[in-house]
Amino acid sequence: MLEITNLSKVYEGNVLALDRVSFKAKQGEFMAVIGLSGSGKSTLLRCINRLVEPTDGQIVWNGVDITDASQDEMRRIRRKIGMVFQHFNLVSRSRVLTNVLSGRLGYVNPVMSLANRFPKEDVEMAMRQMARVGITDQAFKRADELSGGQQQRVGIARAMMQEPEMILADEPVASLDPVLAHSIMQYLEKINKEDGVTIICSLHFLDLVHRYADRAIALNEGKLMFDGTPAEIDDEKFKEIYGKEAERVG
Amino acid sequence: MSGEQAAVRKRSLLKSIGLGFAVLLGLVIYAYGFNVTKVNFEATRSEVRLTQLTRILRALAHPAILEYEKEELDVEAPFYLPCPDGGVPETPPDTSGPYLVATPPCGDAKQIIQIEGYNFWPNTKGPINFIPPSGAKLTIGNLATDANGYFSAKVELPKRQPVEEAQTIRATARRNVGLPRFSDTALTTWDKIIETVFLALLATTFGTATAIPVSFIAARNLMSTVRKPLTSVALSTLGWLLGIALGVPAAQWINQVGESLYEQERHLTTLAGVIVGPLAAWALARWALPQEELKRPTLVQRSGRAVALVVAAVCAIISLRLVSNLAIAAGASLVENLGSLAFLGSFVAQLGDSVRMITPLVVVMVCGGALSGASGGLGEYVANQMPAGAAKSVNLIVAAVTGAALLAAIGAGINWFYQIDDPMLVRWTPALVGAVLGFIIALRASPRQALPIGAVAYTIARTILNAVRSIEPLVMVIVFVVWVGIGPFAGSLALALHTVAALAKLYSEQVESILPGPLEAVQATGANRLQTIVYAVIPQIVPPYISFTMYRWDINVRMSTIIGFAGGGGIGFLLQQNINLLDYRGASVQMLAIAIVVATMDYVSSAIRKRYV
Ligand SMILES: Nc1ncnc2c1ncn2[C@@H]1O[C@H](COP(=O)(O)OP(=O)(O)O)[C@@H](O)[C@H]1O
Ligand SMILES: [Mg+2]
């Protein structure tokens, strides 16, 4: 259970990116976050694992106050929260296997990991996760030799190495073409359904929201505009979220 | 409309006046520049200087690389100076071999006479000397024979006391025999150029190794996220000071243990220690650093681990010290037994010695780091877990104490330089000021507020790097020469220090320009700071680091060729010597060697850069 209350973020230069956002997400839910670019979606997701320090408000996850955690506690919390990025954020000069294994860093012996040594079980687990997203034969290639879709699958495998209870996906398909987009979304769906991982995923296209999400929240200029099922987003809500001039395409 | 036009005209007038002033200012600046740099084209045309220049350029064009074994042919003829009263006795020369004819056969001082030589070696050169009865040799001219072995030269007779009996004119022809061989200059140049290259190699290696970790501290993007509450900062500063204070006696103790074992030649005990120590350290560390647990370990567990780590560190450091003993002993025996490979033995011994020198430093750093880490953790606990009121009062006390200790330590440092030796001035006053400052900061900062301590460390690191970088190695070497004596060691230390500063700056700029995405992604997995650096930063900076290291290697080779000018060893020493002795042909050899080495390094480094970047 993730409970966010009155979360605000003011960036340097007085940019109000989040304005007293409150919502809850149940364990195992697939929640979509929608909104125009600049509406604060990335900021919201990054506040949840404190890649961005919230200015105000509270994030409580499974009874633990994330906003209040010390650095050490935060590392323990983070390793249970996977993250998938729009631009994949792989270390491009490292091998795919190394990228996937880096998802394990929060668990392994810190000293051994500095010498790039991982326990055998972890390497096997990495192989399993790569098999799951169909990139086993890319394991020893450099990450930047892979296509976009493959790179995002590496990103998912890396997140899965954390044995996460929640995955934050920040526009995971925005830099992929539509066919690939669906395949990536299907992996996330599978992780959500089979492993019971909570997924909070910001999305651009409403059809993806309808197709994959159990619930949706919408942001506009940092304010929460909508919280409900995707089906509840009617034309009026749509205009509220995206502005008066917006046309519905999907 | 017209108002606008007037404004435009006024502006353009102002602009022209401004431009005029700028040109005038430029003229004045260059005029003054000519004045202070004493530009003088007349000197460049003076005949004396031009002859000198020609001579030097010609010498430089004849580097003394090869030389021949010389063979000499001396031919003498009697000569009367002044002419004797009874006329010159006729003594016809023996024309079967080489002989000299002086015309006239006698003369007065300063008179020009002609000397001819017959049957000499063809196409040779040599001096013509006048030899008075004292046997001294006065060179009066030079000979150059033609293809028939004949020469003719006009020489001026020297001004000598008149002597009655015959004196001697001796012509010496010289010719090369056998094959050319390398001159002594060439051989010493070879020695020194090798020394130069290795000097640059060592400086680059040690400079790079140190610059890499430093560059992370000097990178804004890595450091700006390091924030700690004041209690933690203050306590970890105190921890450093305390750790250093404790580390010094600990280092002395370990040193004593090592020395006494070495002195008693208990090499077997040492060997056993070298084997057992690391194993024990390894086992303890393995136990104390398990895989990360799901839950935070209990206090008892954590204290147990801390103790184990301390013991492991002691084991590791003692065995390090023993390794150095062993290396010194083994090196010494190798030197005796290896013959021509003795340098390998002395390398081992020197490595051992360097480990022995570093060990105390390691001890102090480990003590400081460990205590600082532990007390920093304690500080974070105080800040985050204690009730706000209690935290605040702890904060006030700790910050005041830290401020006092820090400024007192700085005072001690200043005292060391300036020998003020007044405890009131260098201890109690700074301590008081520090306490007050700490108190004020603690009053103003709320106990839980995270302070940008990383940014402070970044600023300090950058400032120090910039300061060190601005001192040329040629100047630094002067200090090192005082410390370790004239020679290549001083040169490599100076170059290494400058390399650290220069490379750390270049490196850190590369760290600052890495992609933030992968960094974020690795952080998001729950990786700690060091893991983030190893997994997200280092892979991104490998190509520029290689490139900058090669670039620096290039610079170091260049620098090492002239660091000898200031006593830093290498070929520069030889070059300077030859220039001072006016031996330009010798200097030319060294210049040539430098040019070849620099060009080769240039080529090699650019080839490597192309390959890896
Ligand atoms: N690091 C930052 N510094 C300052 N402003 C930022 C920063 N990141 C985002 N913003 C601003 O915050 C607002 C929300 O941005 P973001 O969360 O990236 O929106 P979205 O992901 O929905 O496009 C935007 O106005 C953006 O310009
Ligand atoms: Mg975004």
Closest ligand 1 atom, CA of A46?
A: 17
Taking 50 as the pLDDT cut, the residues of chain A under it are: 250
- Asked if residue B415 belongs to a domain, the reply is no
Three-state DSSP class for B505?
A: helix
Please choose, from the candidates B370, B325, B373, the residue with its C-alpha nearest in 3D space to the C-alpha of residue B348. B325
What is the distance in A from the centroid of ligand 1 to the CA of A53?
13
What is the distance in A from the centroid of ligand 2 to the CA of B27?
56
Q: Convert the pLDDT of each residue in A48-72 to its tens digit.
A: 999 999 999 999 999 999 998 888 8
Q: Are residues B166 and B204 in the same domain?
A: no
Q: Which helix (H) or strand (E) holds A178?
A: helix A178-195
Q: Are residues B502 and B542 in the same domain?
A: yes
Closest residue in A to B515 (Cα–Cα)? A89
Mean pLDDT of chain A: 92
Dihedral (CA of B308, B309, B315, B319) sign: positive
Task: Please tell me if residue B285 touches chain A, with a CB cutoff of 8 Å.
Answer: yes
Asked whether A151 and A175 are in contact (CB, 8 A), the reply is no
Q: Convert the pLDDT of each residue in B134-146 to its tens digit.
A: 888 888 889 999 9
Task: Please tell me if residue B310 touches chain A, with a CB cutoff of 8 Å.
Answer: no
Helix-helix angle B267-288:B299-337, to 10 degrees: 150
With a 6 Å cutoff on the Cβ, whether A35 touches ligand 1 is yes
- Asked if residue B97 belongs to a domain, the reply is yes
* Separation CA A157–CA A152 (nearest Å): 9
Mean pLDDT of chain B: 89
Three-state DSSP class for B132?
A: coil
With a 6 Å cutoff on the Cβ, whether A15 touches ligand 1 is yes
Three-state DSSP class for B524?
A: helix
Q: Which of B291, B296, B518 sits opposite A108 (nearest CB)?
A: B291
pTM score, whole prediction = 0.80
**Residue A40: burial class (beta carbons within 10 Å; 0-12, 13-18, 19+):** buried
Beta carbons of B291 and A98 less than 8 Å apart: no
Instruction: Give the lowest-confidence range in A72-81, B157-166, B421-430.
Output: B157-166
Q: Convert the pLDDT of each residue in B506-539 to its tens digit.
A: 999 999 999 999 999 999 999 999 999 999 999 9
Please choose, from the candidates B215, B195, B278, B181, the residue with its C-alpha nearest in 3D space to the C-alpha of residue B486. B195
Q: Which helix (H) or strand (E) holds B346?
A: helix B342-385
Q: Which one-letter DSSP state was computed for residue B336? A: H
Helices (DSSP H) in A50-205: which residue ranges? 71-78, 96-101, 110-114, 120-132, 148-161, 178-195
- Here the tokens at position B162 are 């008149």
- Here the tokens at position B90 are 């006729």
- Asked if residue B232 belongs to a domain, the reply is no
| Total tally of structural domains belonging to chain B | 4
Ligand 1 pocket: which of A15, A86, A168 to mutate (most atoms within 8 A of CB): A15
The answer, yes or no, to whether residue B293 has pLDDT greater than 70, is no
Residue B178 sits in which domain range?
69-182
Beta carbons of A89 and B521 less than 8 Å apart: yes
- Asked if residue B456 belongs to a domain, the reply is no
Three-state DSSP class for B299?
A: helix
- Here the tokens at position B372 are 């600082």
Beta carbons of B526 and A85 less than 8 Å apart: no
Give the percent of chain B with pLDDT over 90. 44
What is the nearest CA distance from B202 to chain A, expressed in angstroms? 25
Q: Are residues B610 and B559 in the same domain?
A: yes
Q: What is the pLDDT, as a whole number, of residue A249?
A: 59
b/e per residue B482-511 (b: at least 16 CB within 10 A): eeeebbbbbbbbbbbbbbbbbbbbbbbebb
With a 6 Å cutoff on the Cβ, whether A199 touches ligand 1 is no
Mean pLDDT of B572-592: 92
Q: Are residues B267 and B369 in the same domain?
A: yes
Q: Are residues B201 and B293 in the same domain?
A: no
Amino acid symbol at B63: P
* Separation CA B413–CA B205 (nearest Å): 30
Q: What is the pLDDT, as a whole number, of residue B1?
A: 52
Residues near ligand 2 ion, CB 5 Å cutoff: A 42
Q: Are residues B481 and B599 in the same domain?
A: yes
Q: Which residue has the tokens 């005072």?
A: B411
- Here the tokens at position A197 are 């991982």
Q: What is the pLDDT, as a whole number, of residue B88?
A: 78
With a 6 Å cutoff on the Cβ, whether A41 touches ligand 1 is yes
Q: What is the pLDDT, as a whole number, of residue B219?
A: 94
Both ends of chain A: CA-CA distance in Å? Answer: 31
Q: Convert the pLDDT of each residue in B13-56 to its tens digit.
A: 999 999 999 999 999 999 999 999 988 888 888 889 899 999 99
In this structure, the number of other CB atoms found within 10 A of the CB of residue B430 comes to: 21
Could you write out the DSSP letters of every residue in B149-163? Answer: S-EEEEEEPP-----
Q: Are residues B103 and B162 in the same domain?
A: yes
Q: Are residues B98 and B149 in the same domain?
A: yes
Q: Convert the pLDDT of each residue in B196-207 to its tens digit.
A: 989 999 999 999
What is the distance in A from the centroid of ligand 2 to the CA of A162?
23
Q: Convert the pLDDT of each residue in A203-238 to its tens digit.
A: 988 889 999 999 999 999 999 999 999 999 888 888
With a 6 Å cutoff on the Cβ, whether A18 touches ligand 1 is no
With a 6 Å cutoff on the Cβ, whether A46 touches ligand 1 is no
Confidence of residue B292 (pLDDT cuts 50, 70, 90): low
- A180 vs B7, higher pLDDT: A180
Whichever domain contains B510, its CATH number is: 1.10.3720.10
* Separation CA B438–CA B406 (nearest Å): 10
Q: Which residue has the tokens 């290291």?
A: B549
CA atoms within 13 A on the CB side of A43: 27
* Separation CA B475–CA B480 (nearest Å): 9
ipTM field:
0.95
- Asked if residue B351 belongs to a domain, the reply is yes
Closest ligand 1 atom, CA of A18?
A: 14
- Asked if residue B569 belongs to a domain, the reply is yes
Q: Are residues B133 and B190 in the same domain?
A: no
Q: Are residues B176 and B196 in the same domain?
A: no
Instruction: Give the lowest-confidence range in A185-189, B132-136, B460-464, B587-591.
Output: B132-136
Whichever domain contains B101, its CATH number is: 2.60.40
Amino acid symbol at B89: P
Q: What is the pLDDT, as a whole number, of residue B176?
A: 86
- Asked if residue B223 belongs to a domain, the reply is no
Q: Are residues B472 and B578 in the same domain?
A: yes
- Here the tokens at position B418 are 């300036």
Mean pLDDT of B447-476: 91
Strand partners, B283: none
- Asked if residue B397 belongs to a domain, the reply is no
Mean pLDDT of B113-118: 92
Q: Are residues B96 and B14 in the same domain?
A: no
What is the nearest CA distance from B521 to chain A, expressed in angstroms? 6
